[in-house]
Structure 1
Amino acid sequence: MIGLRIKEERERLSLTQQGMAEAIGVAKRTFIDWEKERTSPTAVQLSALSLMGMDVLYVLTGQRSSTTAREKPSLTRRQSALLDNYDHLGEADKAALERTAFALAEQERVGKKGKTA
């Protein structure tokens, strides 16, 4: 069931297998194997999926988290404009933007960890 829920979440996020795999830094074949339940993602990989917007609680348990409802949350004007721009990109540009956003967020998280230590 985990594989099916990974697929459902990927489709909810309107991402291709290739796009999601690239965004979290795994091979497309690895992602396909997760969806076909040949293998399962590690905790680190689940964390990366969560950062992409995937409801990992749902993936693991079948129960939706309270923060990832099927309804769209209220967005600020800035967030809405960003999503609108994203929606008008081609698939290759979307994948590049997702990789860049993931890398920048990861860099920010690592920087914050270093400051608290």
Structure 2
Amino acid sequence: MPDFGTRLKAERARLGLSQAAMAKAGGVSLNSQSNYENGHRVPDASYLERVAPLGVDVTYVVIGVRVSAALTAAPTGQLADGAVLRSVTPEEAALLDNYEHSDDEGRAAARRLLSALAVSSPVRKAA
């Protein structure tokens, strides 16, 4: 498993940020950012708190376990593209997983089927 600095550098690269931009957002010098990424120093929690809104997966950086960056970047549950985050049951998660692994035709068929089966509701959205 990559070390802390390697994971921090990978997150910065994933987000398309320069070291200078990440350092500025984190409230540290460019030298400090470089030291974090090279494993010479470890940032404090306030640095991680400041870079999290950029979309940095802080859980991944700290412990090496990926958490959706969307969750990290959207503490309110509302994403910039209008999507809404919510908790799901294991059954719902399995359905979403099947949907995500379907081709475009399969996804369209699933949307049509679920729209047809759904109980009428004023908030129900057409597929």
Q: Which has the higher contact order (CA 8 A, sep 6+)?
A: 1
Aligned CA-pair RMSD: 1.9
TM-score (normalizing by structure 1): 0.57
Distance 1:55 1:74, change over 3 A: same
Q: Which protein has the larger Cα radius of gyration, Structure 1 or Structure 2?
A: 2
Structure 1 stretches (4+) deviating beyond 6 angstroms? Answer: none
Q: Larger helix proportion, structure 1 or 2?
A: 1
Aligned residues: 73
How far the C-alpha of 1:66 sits from its partner, in A, is 3.6
- Mapped pair 1:65 → 2:71: no
Q: Which residue pairs with 2:42 in the alignment?
A: 40
Partners of 1:23 and 1:55 in 2: CA distance? 15
Distance 1:7 1:67, change over 3 A: closer
- Amino acid in the other structure paired with 1:5: R
Q: What percentage of aligned pairs have identical amino acids?
A: 36
TM-score (normalizing by structure 2): 0.52
How far the C-alpha of 1:24 sits from its partner, in A, is 2.0
Q: Which residue pairs with 1:5 in the alignment?
A: 7
Name structure 2 gaps, 5 residues minimum.
Answer: 72-78, 83-127
